[in-house]
């Protein structure tokens, strides 16, 4: 392949075998070598760049292609792996081969530069149409006769997780050569939390109030974060103006309840907010947008993460200024940082000397570039 797109495959830890199988399937289909690197195991950006960079630029002995798998990039600890994100971006930019990155939480703010540089690949669970034939094929090789209703029950219970379904088949069949619907009653119910994408799909595609409300039981994010996700994606998921108006009205009412709860701690109002943001949105939608519409990360959360990161950066620089100038970090930020910014604009050489003396060249450059971007 002359051109390729680097991909980020998200999903919870339980989906890790699925993400690895995805990379193995691609490499086998193309006849490529698979090079797997766990990004969170490498303790510095330099080590990571040397290992991944070597794999991504050197051809193999017999000139076969190569697929680079960087696993669990969101497991990088930026306190100890300070240059890891930059190192991975360099590898992506300089690589001669396609790269797949995996993450348990693709919306982690620290890996946003990686997410922006990659194509997001969502690995969906199998439906009945794909799962039942696979189970039939496995049972046929084992010489087991199974009722289709039993297979349907297992697939629905495991919600498309093929690994769990195969485990259940092993538990139920054992030495037996038959499988009936009554046998599946022996299985315990698995309490699963769904990804945020699945929760949103349930809400936007529900046809009853109860179905939309049950989406909350499958969510692993708090209610106000889920509210932001629903608010962000409602305009793209509900395209008709009349339906969108009703959905946004329900969300506005839910927001008022959340505000009242925060102000007065009246938690008995929470059920009203939850009903409005789930069932209220679901019943407002009467038509589909036509075709697949991707879900977007809430912009309000993104901007809050960025501003929080900037505040932390300014606080850190203030501490450096304070330690060198024998003042508090707060005074260093409030009093000296504006003076350093003025010197940076009017005497870059002197600014460079001050930054080196403070041992804060990199964070100061980043703060001043952020300030100039926001001013622009």
pLDDT, position 255: 94
Binning pLDDT at 50, 70 and 90, where does residue 282 land? very high
Three-state DSSP at 180 gives: coil
Q: With pLDDT > 90 as the criterion, what percentage of the chain qualifies?
A: 10
Token pair recorded at residue 95: 């690589």
Mean pLDDT of 116-136: 82
Comparing 74-88, 103-117, 225-239, which segment has the lowest mean pLDDT? 74-88
Binning pLDDT at 50, 70 and 90, where does residue 15 land? very low
Comparing 33-47, 121-135, 326-340, which segment has the lowest mean pLDDT? 33-47
Mean pLDDT of 339-367: 83
pTM of the model: 0.46
Contacts of 10 (CB under 8 A, 6+ apart): 102, 103, 104, 105, 106, 120, 121, 122, 123, 195
pLDDT, position 60: 56
10 Å CB burial of residue 137 (0-12, 13-18, 19+) is exposed
- The answer to whether 51 touches 37, Cβ cutoff 8 Å, is yes
Question: Model confidence over 175-189: pLDDT tens digits?
Answer: 778 888 888 876 655
Binning pLDDT at 50, 70 and 90, where does residue 84 land? confident
pLDDT, position 316: 74
Given a cut of 70, whether residue 103 has pLDDT beyond it is: yes
Phi, psi of 194 (to 5 degrees): -95, 160
Binning pLDDT at 50, 70 and 90, where does residue 321 land? confident
Q: With pLDDT > 70 as the criterion, what percentage of the chain qualifies?
A: 76
Question: Model confidence over 133-172: pLDDT tens digits?
Answer: 988 998 888 888 888 888 988 888 777 778 778 878 877 8
pLDDT, position 193: 46
Given a cut of 70, whether residue 4 has pLDDT beyond it is: no
Q: What gap in Å lies between CA 183 and CA 178, rounded to an integer? A: 9
Mean pLDDT of 98-124: 80
pLDDT, position 199: 84
Given a cut of 50, whether residue 2 has pLDDT beyond it is: no
Question: Model confidence over 283-302: pLDDT tens digits?
Answer: 998 876 555 676 777 777 65
Token pair recorded at residue 37: 């690197």
Give strand ranges (E) for 64-222.
66-71, 99-103, 119-120, 145-146, 178-179
Given a cut of 50, whether residue 351 has pLDDT beyond it is: yes
Question: Model confidence over 30-58: pLDDT tens digits?
Answer: 888 888 876 555 445 555 666 665 555 56
318 — alpha (psi -120 to 50), left (phi > 0) or beta? Answer: alpha
Q: Using alpha carbons, list the distances in angstroms from residue 365 to 103, 320, 330, 368.
A: 30, 14, 19, 5
Q: Using alpha carbons, list the distances in angstroms from residue 283 to 27, 238, 256, 269.
A: 45, 11, 20, 21
DSSP state of 194: B
10 Å CB burial of residue 237 (0-12, 13-18, 19+) is buried
Mean pLDDT of 206-231: 83
Is the pLDDT higher at 65 or at 56? 65
Q: What gap in Å lies between CA 354 and CA 91, rounded to an integer? A: 33
pLDDT, position 345: 86
pLDDT, position 43: 44
Question: Model confidence over 193-207: pLDDT tens digits?
Answer: 456 777 888 888 887
Mean pLDDT of 8-18: 50
Within a 10 A sphere around the Cβ of 198, how many other Cβ atoms?
Answer: 19
């Amino acid at each position: 392949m002359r051109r390729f797109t680097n991909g980020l495959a998200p999903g919870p830890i339980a989906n890790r075998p699925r993400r690895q199988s995805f990379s193995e399937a691609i490499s086998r289909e193309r006849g490529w070598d698979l090079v797997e690197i766990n990004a969170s195991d490498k303790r510095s950006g330099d080590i990571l760049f040397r290992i991944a960079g070597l794999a991504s630029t050197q051809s193999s002995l017999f000139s076969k292609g190569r697929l680079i798998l960087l696993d669990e990039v969101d497991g990088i600890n930026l306190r100890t792996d300070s240059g890891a994100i930059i190192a991975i971006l360099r590898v992506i930019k300089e690589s001669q081969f396609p790269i797949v990155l995996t993450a348990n939480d693709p919306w982690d703010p620290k890996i946003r530069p990686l997410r922006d540089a990659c194509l997001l690949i969502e690995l969906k669970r199998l439906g009945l149409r794909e799962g039942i034939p696979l189970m039939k094929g496995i049972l046929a090789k084992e010489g087991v006769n199974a009722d289709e209703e039993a297979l349907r029950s297992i697939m629905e219970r495991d919600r498309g997780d093929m690994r769990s379904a195969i485990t259940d088949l092993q538990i139920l069949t054992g030495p037996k050569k038959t499988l009936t619907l009554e046998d599946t009653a022996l299985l315990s119910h698995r309490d699963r939390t769904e990804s945020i994408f699945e929760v949103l799909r349930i809400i936007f595609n529900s046809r009853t109030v109860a179905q939309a409300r049950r989406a909350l039981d499958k969510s692993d994010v708090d209610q106000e974060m889920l509210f932001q996700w629903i608010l962000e994606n409602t305009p793209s998921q509900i395209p008709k103006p009349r339906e969108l108006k009703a959905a946004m009205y329900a969300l506005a009412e839910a927001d008022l309840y959340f505000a009242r709860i925060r102000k007065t701690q009246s938690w008995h109002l929470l059920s009203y907010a939850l009903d409005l943001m789930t069932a209220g949105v679901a019943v407002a939608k009467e038509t589909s947008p036509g075709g697949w519409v991707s879900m977007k990360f809430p912009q309000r959360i993104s901007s809050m993460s960025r501003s929080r990161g900037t505040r932390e950066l300014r606080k850190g620089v203030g501490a450096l200024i304070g330690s060198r100038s024998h003042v508090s970090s707060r005074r260093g930020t409030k009093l000296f940082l504006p003076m350093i910014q003025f010197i940076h604009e009017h005497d870059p050489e002197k600014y460079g000397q001050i930054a080196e003396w403070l041992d804060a060249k990199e964070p100061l450059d980043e703060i001043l570039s952020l300030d100039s971007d926001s001013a622009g």
